[in-house]
């Protein structure tokens, strides 16, 4: 088995990324044997996106600075990957809450051509990509309704629209753009509609994270692309 297990969860605001990541981590710890959890790394958006926020807010973010931030993260993953190659069993587990795909829409300074080398580096590590999507109505119920009095909608999201309805429309469009970006990635990938409870997809995503790739991601990317839509 491969000793490094990397997983990137992506999707627009309100699709359930944080809930899924929390459930994956709790499931991994709960099902691991005593003293066998090993290295478990979770990079939340405070790491994958947050460091760009101040430059974005000041309109000072450049492509070069955005790519430098991505390089720091991927270089760290490459070090983690190298350091466990002597092991024959899974030893290092990594979950990322969004990264280069989301950066193409938020902050939106970089484009796919800029981040494609990042995608190839992640694929070379065997890192996998899960893309979550939900219906327009669920984007409202999960991404807008519960946040009406929170800083995210009251301040940050005002750049996407003057009203909650306009902000919601932006997230619907962003989901479509992310779907196109997802299709360009050469990482082993899985796309799921997440309109139901998180338990409906937890087992499938966990198995996808833990299984060894059947094909090398740089030579047979299309065969690694799968689609799932949970049935009611």
Give the three-state DSSP class for 10: strand
Residue 221, pLDDT score:
37
Task: Give the HSE-up count for residue 148: Cα atoms under 13 Å, Cβ half-sphere.
Answer: 7
Instruction: State yes or no: pLDDT of 222 exceeds 80.
Output: no
Strand arrangement of the beta sheet that strand 39-43 belongs to: 39-43, 92-97, 4-10, 128-133, 189-193, 225-228
Element (H, E) at 149: none
Distances (CA, A) of 184 to 86, 101, 189, 208, 222: 32, 10, 11, 19, 10
187: how many CB neighbours lie within 10 A of its CB? 26
Instruction: State yes or no: pLDDT of 224 exceeds 60.
Output: no
Are 91 and 39 in contact by the 8 Å Cβ rule? The answer is: yes
Which of the four pLDDT bands, split at 50, 70 and 90, describes residue 219? very low
Alpha carbon distance 71, 210 (integer Å): 25
Plot region of 163 (φ>0 → left; ψ -120 to 50 → alpha; else → beta): beta
Distances (CA, A) of 219 to 15, 77, 184, 212, 222: 31, 21, 14, 16, 9
Residue 35, pLDDT score:
85
Are 44 and 99 in contact by the 8 Å Cβ rule? The answer is: no
160-204: pLDDT as tens digits? 999 999 999 999 999 999 999 999 999 999 999 999 999 999 999
Instruction: Give all domains of the chain, ordered by start, each with its CATH number.
Output: 4-228 (3.40.50.300)
Residue among 132, 122, 130, 101 at smallest CA distance from 4: 122
Instruction: State yes or no: pLDDT of 217 exceeds 80.
Output: no
């Amino acid at each position: 088995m491969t000793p490094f297990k990397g997983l990137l969860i992506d999707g627009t605001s309100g699709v359930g990324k944080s809930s899924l990541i929390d459930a994956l981590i709790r499931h991994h710890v709960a099902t691991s044997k005593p003293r066998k959890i090993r290295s478990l790394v979770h990079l939340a958006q405070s790491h994958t996106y947050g460091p760009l926020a101040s430059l974005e807010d000041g309109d000072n973010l450049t492509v070069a600075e955005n790519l430098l931030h991505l390089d720091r993260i991927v270089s760290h993953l490459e070090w983690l990957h190298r350091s466990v190659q002597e092991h024959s069993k899974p030893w290092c587990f990594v979950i990322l809450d969004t990264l280069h795909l989301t950066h193409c829409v938020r902050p939106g300074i970089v484009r796919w051509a800029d981040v494609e080398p990042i995608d190839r580096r992640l694929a070379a590590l065997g890192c996998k990509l899960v893309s979550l999507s939900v219906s327009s109505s669920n984007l409202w119920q999960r991404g807008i309704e519960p946040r009406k009095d929170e800083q995210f909608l009251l301040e940050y999201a005002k750049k996407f629209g003057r009203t909650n309805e306009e902000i919601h429309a932006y997230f619907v469009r962003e989901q479509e753009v992310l779907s196109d970006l997802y299709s360009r990635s050469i990482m082993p990938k899985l796309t799921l509609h997440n309109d139901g409870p998180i338990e409906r997809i937890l087992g499938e995503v966990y198995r996808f994270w833990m299984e060894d790739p059947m094909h090398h991601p740089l030579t047979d990317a299309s065969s690694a692309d799968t689609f799932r839509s949970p049935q009611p």
